[in-house]
Copies of this chain bind each other. A is one copy, B any other.
Amino acid sequence: MSIRHGLLALLSAGPRYGYQLRAEFEAATGASWPLNIGQVYTTLNRAERDGLVEIAETDPQNRVLYRITAAGRDALAAWFGGPVALTDRPRDELAIKLALALVAPGVDVARVVQVQRTATMRHLQELTRLKTAPEASGGAELGWALVRESMIFHAEAEMRWLDHCEAYLARAARHPRPAVPAGNDQDTEAVRR
């Protein structure tokens, strides 16, 4: 629901039209997550369906202006007023991947960790490089800085976690699990009952 709320936030400053919303959304977040223009219109339609926005009028240039409604302001206030909960967050694909690499037979977990480390490291370097880059356009530079820092912090956390995993695996290698004796991959345990 981040796009929906994001558009509501922009509309809370006054009526906007579709293209303008995309431009301002990307300006505010530093275009970290490019927003397809079609998505803006579908999201606006659904928000209108739900009574959060309404069509205000038409521009001098014949552009369709959307206005936030009272219900929309309520939804926005609820968004800003409460935290982003755990349950709101999507599954962490990397964590799932590693956890399942452990139970899937014939997967070189250490290699998976290494590949990810390389990619995350490259990502992290790119982000830090951007930090010192001469930011051209003025304006909502602040938001992009915050988003960028968020990405950096999470990438660093991921690097640390990968180190952690590697250490864990190294320890597990020294104290190996008995593992399945024969080559019978087929039947492990049925679901417990």
Contacts and interface: CB of A to CB of B under 8 A. Distances in A.
Contacts of A23: 191-192
Interface string A71-97: 000001001111111101111111111
Nearest to A188: B13
B99 A143 contact: yes
B96 A140 contact: no
Interface of A: 1-3, 5-6, 9-10, 12-15, 19-20, 23-25, 28-30, 32-33, 76, 79-86, 88-107, 112, 115-116, 118-120, 123, 140, 142-147, 149-151, 153-154, 156-158, 160-161, 164-165, 168, 172, 185-188, 190-192
A99 B85 CA distance: 18
Q: A81, A82, A84, A157: which has the most chain B beta carbons within 10 Å? A: A84
B9 A83 contact: no
Nearest to A32: B95
Given A96-B147, A153-B157, 5 more contacts: A9-B101, A13-B103, A14-B185, A83-B120, A98-B147
B28 A100 contact: yes
A42 B118 CA distance: 34
Contacts of A161: 149-150, 153-154
A80 B103 contact: no
A149 to B, nearest CB: 6
A9 B146 CA distance: 37
A28 B99 contact: yes
Nearest to A161: B153
Nearest to A139: B189
B140 A103 contact: yes
Contacts of A157: 153-154, 156-157
